[in-house]
């Protein structure tokens, strides 16, 4: 499932074609994805101008001139691609429609944005922009890890007394929004913290050290266009490249890359998810 860097990469790729442009026409090819589409979604979107295109956690939010916000979740296999962009950043010709092209947006600048989702775990919803932060998918989210509300004191406070492993705690979207399995594994490696450690037993200095590490890992991943493991594509159809920089994720039995460490990357299962780490240098 795309994590924060992949969703941010898609948002940035869509912005030149969607932000400040009007949605001329919307084609909805099925009644639902993970959940039913909003009532009259095509009619409510057609004619609306996208006043802002932003991200909250793993969701893309398109604020509209109608006072509504379109919430988009890519799910496990969803991707949004652009064709016909007048700025020449994408393929000029619109491709032939594919089987799993479920929603198609034609923009006033000539761009076409297509939401394709073979597994149909993605979702779209329309809510009042004024109330979007109270949406059930957004209401309980923690701070954005790249925002000012994510800081050392706050993370120390949120982890204090927690008996869950630090890996599970960082995956809790109420503690910090947008982190997923890949980037938590990578951040814990860089911080030298074992995913087995109980969150509440970590010294404050070690918790504080996680904040800049998490920021750096995410920023590097965004600069690389995210990570493409199976289905992820950028808005221009290209793969992400951060998977080539993984220190631990997916590297079971490979040698540790930390200078001077002779350890081997191990994989364990925590809460049904694979955790990759070096038992020798992550304590």
Q: How many domains does the chain have?
A: 2
Question: In whole angstroms, what is the distance from residue 67 CA to residue 69 CA?
Answer: 7
Residue 88 has pLDDT above 80, yes or no: no
Q: Catalytic site residue 6? A: no
Residue 283 domain flag: no
* Confidence at residue 99, expressed as pLDDT on a 0 to 100 scale: 87
- Kindly name the residue from 2, 143, 165, 195 that is annotated as catalytic: 2
Q: Catalytic site residue 119? A: no
CATH number of the domain to which 222 belongs: 1.10.8.50
- Kindly name the residue from 56, 58, 127, 190 that is annotated as catalytic: 58
- Kindly name the residue from 12, 198, 267, 273 that is annotated as catalytic: 273
* Confidence at residue 243, expressed as pLDDT on a 0 to 100 scale: 56
Residue 241 has pLDDT above 50, yes or no: no
Quick one: 161 and 232 in the same domain?
yes
Averaged pLDDT of the chain: 90
What percent of the chain has a predicted confidence (pLDDT) above 90?
A: 78
DSSP code, position 148: T
Query: Is there a contact between 226 and 242 (Cβ–Cβ < 8 Å)?
Result: yes
Quick one: 81 and 198 in the same domain?
no
Is the four-CA dihedral 153, 159, 161, 165 of positive or negative sign? negative
Residue 242 has pLDDT above 90, yes or no: no
Q: What is the pLDDT of residues 4-31, one digit of tens each?
A: 988 999 999 899 999 999 999 999 999 9
Question: In whole angstroms, what is the distance from residue 107 CA to residue 118 CA?
Answer: 24
Confidence tier at 184 by pLDDT (50, 70, 90): very high
Pairing of strands 273-277, 59-64: unpaired
Residue 171 domain flag: yes
Q: Catalytic site residue 174? A: no
Q: Catalytic site residue 36? A: no
Quick one: 246 and 166 in the same domain?
yes
* Confidence at residue 240, expressed as pLDDT on a 0 to 100 scale: 45
User: Mean of the pLDDT values across residues 159-177?
Assistant: 96
Q: What is the pLDDT of residues 249-262, one digit of tens each?
A: 999 999 999 999 99
């Amino acid at each position: 499932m795309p994590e924060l860097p992949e969703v941010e990469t898609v948002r940035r790729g869509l912005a030149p074609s969607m932000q400040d442009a009007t949605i001329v026409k919307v084609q909805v090819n099925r009644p639902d994805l993970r959940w039913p589409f909003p009532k009259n979604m095509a009619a409510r979107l057609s004619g609306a101008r996208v006043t802002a295109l932003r991200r909250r956690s793993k969701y893309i939010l398109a604020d509209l001139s109608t006072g509504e916000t379109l919430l988009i979740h890519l799910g496990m296999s969803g991707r949004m691609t652009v064709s016909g962009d007048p700025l020449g950043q994408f393929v000029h010709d619109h491709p032939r429609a594919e089987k799993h092209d479920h929603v198609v947006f034609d923009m006033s600048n000539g761009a076409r944005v297509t939401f394709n989702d073979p597994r149909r775990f993605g979702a779209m919803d329309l809510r009042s922009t004024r109330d979007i932060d109270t949406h059930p998918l957004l209401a309980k989210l923690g701070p954005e890890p790249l925002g000012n509300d994510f800081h050392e004191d706050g993370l120390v406070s949120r982890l204090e007394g927690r008996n869950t492993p630090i890996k599970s705690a960082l995956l809790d979207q109420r503690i910090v929004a947008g982190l997923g399995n890949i980037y938590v594994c990578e951040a814990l490696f860089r911080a030298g913290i074992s995913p087995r450690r109980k969150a509440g037993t970590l010294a404050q200095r070690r918790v504080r050290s996680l904040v800049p590490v998490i920021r750096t890992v995410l920023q590097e991943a965004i600069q690389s266009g995210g990570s493409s493991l199976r289905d992820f594509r950028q808005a221009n159809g290209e793969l992400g490249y951060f998977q080539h920089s993984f220190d631990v994720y997916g590297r079971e039995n490979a040698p540790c890359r930390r200078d001077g460490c002779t350890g081997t990357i191990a994989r364990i299962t925590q809460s049904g998810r694979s955790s990759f780490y070096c038992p020798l240098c992550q304590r």
